[in-house]
Structure 1
Amino acid sequence: MNQNKIPVSVLSGYLGAGKTTILNHVLNNRDGLKVAVIVNDLSEVNIDADLIRDGAGLSRTNEKLVEMSNGCICCTLREDLLKEVEKLALEGRFDYILIESTGIGEPVPVAQTFTYIDEEHGIDLSQICRLDTMVTVVDAYRFWNDFSSGETLLDRNQAAGSDDIREVVDLLIDQIEFCDVLILNKCDMVETDELDELEGVLRKLQPRAKFIRSERGKVDPAAILNTGLFNFDEASTSAGWIKELENPVHTPETDEYGISSFVYERVKPFHPERLMKWMEDWPVDIVRAKGTMWLATRNDMGQSFSQAGPSIQLGPAGYWVAALPEDERKFYLQDEPELARAWDAVYGDRINKVVLIGIDMNRNEIESTLDQCLLTDDEMRMDWSRFADPFPKAIAELAEQLQ
């Protein structure tokens, strides 16, 4: 195995956040490091690459700029990324590889490219590269506008293709919840109080990352190069909602900007119709919610719930262990002591467990109104399958596919 693995930093962040400006600044202040740069831009004319070429003064003999257009490195261009990184690493001419991901790219698939062997192409980047840092750049000036827009990438003509139905807010959350360094850029365009509040929210969403405030993309290269920060398992479980669920004796804390979080946990199912009405009048003070829901009409299968801004998603997460055949159920209970400890004598592992993160949340009111969506004692004795279930049929269809 090659002991001198070439380190790699990846810049992610929504369109216009300032990734190219930061990349230019780093390249202009890199203290003689020989850097290969890969720029992924969805447009046919690779504008970002032109900006970097013009602004960074790359040495023709020592450095290389690779342009990857007409695709996203987290999906259609993944094969190209594999081959290009392998080629650059094996050339042995570079000290570092810097990758600027497209503004609509999700960081997890890019990180996986460096973590697992690609059986299809026989390329194992983990033998020749060391993923050093996953960086996410957030536009401090436009964040709340993008977060609350309710728009899809298709609405903004920014989609990777006609079947790309992702919402802007979901992309922002994906980029924030998986990173080692979070750069809050354009801080000079935001008032200090607003900036402090935004950072407070982002730290709740991403408590593990190192935070950096920047103006006009000016970032110390040492903050994102050779940091040694990346760890796939840690990055994968670094989201604030995961940390909240992992903390069994959580003491709710509210900071000076009213930012707080708590776990809503009940061993009782939701009445789908009442829950739908509650969601249609979603409390504006809840910024992010994530967890597992138990719907009375879908008693065998837990539902994965995710909310960010105006985006709300609910879909089958898998069977409750309590709904499995007895031999499978025994296997899980023996294999997972925590599951056995939390096991309810009547309902097994069925539970509503949702993390809520927000600003100036009225926890008592939220819990009280959610409690009203649970089945009443009388309803608990009824035939649950007869309750109205207004959630999209797509959820039921997907559940059938999982069976």
Structure 2
Amino acid sequence: MLQQKIPATVITGFLGAGKTTIIRNMLTNAGGKKIALIINEFGDLGVDGEVLKGCGAENCTEDDIIELTNGCICCTVADDFVPTMQKLLDRDIKPDHIVIETSGLALPQPLVAAFNWPDIRTRVTVDGVVTVVDSAAVAAGRFADDHDAVAAQRADDESLDHESPIEELFEDQLTCADLIVLNKTDLLDAAGVVAVRAEVAGRTARKPTMIEARNGEVPSLVLLGIGAGTEDDIENRKSHHELEHEAAHAAGGDHDHLHHHDHDEFESFVLKLPPIADPAGFVEKLKDVIATHDVLRLKGFIDVPGKPMRLVLQAVGSRVDTYFDRPWTSGEKRETRLVVIGLHEWDYGAVVEAVQAAAG
């Protein structure tokens, strides 16, 4: 029966880990498989979907790319994801494989659980959950707190709050994985890669397969065909929220709030800017803006005067990558549009003003 089901791969990972690049490479090297892609974009502008539509893979046409922009997929499973899956499965020509790219803010666990819905379970199986890790960010200590100091504080103060939501999210994505891709290892030396492996392995009690990658280059044969049937193993991959709720329930009392996955710590906005005549200079100025205002993620398209192609911009921390992906089409409005994602406490007006100033 499992063989008759359409396999689905869930690709998750923190902001800027390289999920889109991995999927882009996968689509162009899928060996003729017809792939349907469901993208859950955080923010008001589906940048990742637009980037993937520009890859031109014959086996994944624009009709095979579905964007869910109503919110984080783990919070809109019933209203958004399940109906989308049902429509996809009811098509006359069904895909050979379904790939789901989650938002960087998504918990994989509720999404995997949705594959046990009766109308989906009989037709689809989770081939595997692939969690992409930004190795350079981990090496730089973005998630590497002083564990000994934290443990000592916890021992002294039982009322100490839980770890940061971002750190818990990172660990939940690792815990749900069948395959962990340590991406961007080319930015580290051998000792750095060893340290990242140890750090990531220490974040989950499970021991999923872990591989190294650079520039999102992972063979499709590695990503597709894992055959995990992950929906049957969700009891062993519980998130922090699930474990906290179970503990609270066992202790008695009302802890209904633990059912909710809170995204209030993040904010995003879309910014439209004039054409950028000097992209290199703009990028250098953006690095200062990112550092000053602690911008987590910045991505979008740039209109470069005199250039027939649009310029894609992807920024994570101080690393900013740009590349021309495809020509502007005849019916397409040329404009510079960026999605900016940061923490809730940031000064929204100051960030807008700084990015606008960088654009000149």
Q: TM-score per shorter chain, which class?
A: 0.5 to 0.7
Q: For 1:89 and 1:43, how far apart are their aligned partners in 2?
A: 27
- Structure 1 residue corresponding to 2:195, chosen from 191, 194, 197: 197
CA contact (8 A) 2:38 2:66 kept: yes
Q: For 2:55 and 2:78, how far apart are their aligned partners in 1?
A: 27
What residue in structure 1 maps to residue 105 of structure 2? Answer: 104
**Deviation of the 1:3 alpha carbon:** 6.7
CA contact (8 A) 2:35 2:59 kept: no
**1:175-226 deviation per Cα after TM superposition (whole angstroms, max 9, x unaligned):** 0111101001010111211211211232233443111110000001111212
- Structure 1 residue corresponding to 2:131, chosen from 132, 136, 142: 136
What residue in structure 2 maps to residue 147 of structure 1? Answer: 143
Q: For 2:144 and 2:195, how far apart are their aligned partners in 1?
A: 16
**1:339-380 deviation per Cα after TM superposition (whole angstroms, max 9, x unaligned):** xxxxxxxxxxxxxxxxxxxxxxxxxxxxxxxxxxxxxxxxxx
CA separation of 1:95 and 1:171: change in aligned 2, threshold 3 A: same
Greater C-alpha radius of gyration = 1
Alignment of 1:205-284 (within 5 A): 205-206=203-204, 207-232=206-231, 234=233, 236-237=235-236
What residue in structure 1 maps to residue 248 of structure 2? Answer: 316
Structure 1 residue 174 and structure 2 residue 172: aligned?
Answer: yes
CA contact (8 A) 1:41 1:68 kept: yes
CA separation of 1:216 and 1:200: change in aligned 2, threshold 3 A: same
CA contact (8 A) 1:86 1:128 kept: no
CA separation of 1:61 and 1:305: change in aligned 2, threshold 3 A: closer
**1:300-340 deviation per Cα after TM superposition (whole angstroms, max 9, x unaligned):** xxxx789xxxxxxx9735249xxxxxxxxxxxxxxxxxxxx
Q: For 2:18 and 2:3, how far apart are their aligned partners in 1?
A: 34
Structure 1 residue runs without a partner (length 5+): 118-123, 151-164, 243-289, 291-303, 307-313, 321-403
CA separation of 1:31 and 1:3: change in aligned 2, threshold 3 A: closer
Local SS of the residue matching 1:205 = coil
CA separation of 1:238 and 1:69: change in aligned 2, threshold 3 A: closer
CA contact (8 A) 1:39 1:99 kept: yes
Local SS of the residue matching 2:176 = coil
CA separation of 1:236 and 1:199: change in aligned 2, threshold 3 A: farther
CA separation of 1:60 and 1:176: change in aligned 2, threshold 3 A: closer
Alignment of 1:4-403 (within 5 A): 4-59=4-59, 64-76=64-76, 78-91=78-91, 92-117=93-118, 124-143=119-138, 144-148=140-144, 167-206=165-204, 207-232=206-231, 234=233, 236-237=235-236, 316=248, 318-319=250-251
Q: For 2:234 and 2:247, how far apart are their aligned partners in 1?
A: 24
Higher relative contact order (CA 8 A, sep 6+): 2
Q: For 1:88 and 1:230, how far apart are their aligned partners in 2?
A: 20
Give the letter for the 1:318 counterpart: A
CA separation of 1:146 and 1:26: change in aligned 2, threshold 3 A: same
Q: For 2:106 and 2:207, how far apart are their aligned partners in 1?
A: 21
* Percent of residue pairs identical: 28
CA contact (8 A) 2:53 2:62 kept: no
Q: For 1:56 and 1:214, how far apart are their aligned partners in 2?
A: 23
**1:240-260 deviation per Cα after TM superposition (whole angstroms, max 9, x unaligned):** xx9xxxxxxxxxxxxxxxxxx
CA contact (8 A) 2:135 2:184 kept: yes
Give the letter for the 2:102 counterpart: S
CA separation of 1:50 and 1:62: change in aligned 2, threshold 3 A: closer
CA separation of 1:60 and 1:99: change in aligned 2, threshold 3 A: closer
**Deviation of the 1:62 alpha carbon:** 9.1
Q: For 1:137 and 1:46, how far apart are their aligned partners in 2?
A: 20
In the superposition, the TM-score normalised over structure 1's length comes to 0.52
**Deviation of the 1:25 alpha carbon:** 0.5
CA separation of 1:82 and 1:305: change in aligned 2, threshold 3 A: closer
CA contact (8 A) 1:140 1:184 kept: yes
Q: For 1:110 and 1:71, how far apart are their aligned partners in 2?
A: 13
Give the letter for the 2:29 counterpart: N
In the superposition, the TM-score normalised over structure 2's length comes to 0.58
CA contact (8 A) 1:11 1:135 kept: yes
Structure 2 residue runs without a partner (length 5+): 147-162, 253-360
CA contact (8 A) 1:185 1:213 kept: yes
Local SS of the residue matching 1:98 = strand
What residue in structure 2 maps to residue 268 of structure 1? Answer: none
Give the letter for the 2:230 counterpart: N
